[in-house]
Amino acid sequence: MNFLTRYLPFVAAMALVVVASNILVQFPMQGQVGGLSLADLLTWGAFTYPFSFLVTDLANRRYGPAVARKVVFVGFMTAVTCSILVPPFLF
């Protein structure tokens, strides 16, 4: 059994969180707090990205730090791959 199939729930969750965060970072949060516009400070990606820390922590607790590092690496490579492949399709 290879790495991706053995740890599929963690790898899939990390890839999903990273891709969702990279997409949602484009959309500013609407609203105001006092006289401060939230659109200037926050995007929706700020709310999804912390789930990557949860996935990393759960992988670390279940399988140890070596597997958690690999899960993070796969998530990072997913983000890099999407950053390279997706823009040509959008423009």
- Mean pLDDT, range 46-62, rounded to an integer: 94
Domain count, the chain: 1
Quick: pLDDT tens for 16-35: 999 898 889 889 988 888 88
Q: Give the whole-number percent of the chain exceeding pLDDT 90.
A: 46
State the residue range of the domain holding 21: 3-90
Concatenating the DSSP letter of every residue in 37-83 gives EGGGT-BTHHHHTHHHHHHHHHHHHHH-HHHHHHHHHHHHHHHHHHH
Distance CA 68, CA 84 (A): 25
Q: What is the pLDDT of residue 89?
A: 74
Does the pLDDT at position 64 exceed 80? yes
Does the pLDDT at position 91 exceed 70? no
pLDDT bracket for residue 58 (50, 70, 90): very high
Q: What is the pLDDT of residue 3?
A: 73
Q: 55 near 9, Cβ under 8 Å? A: no
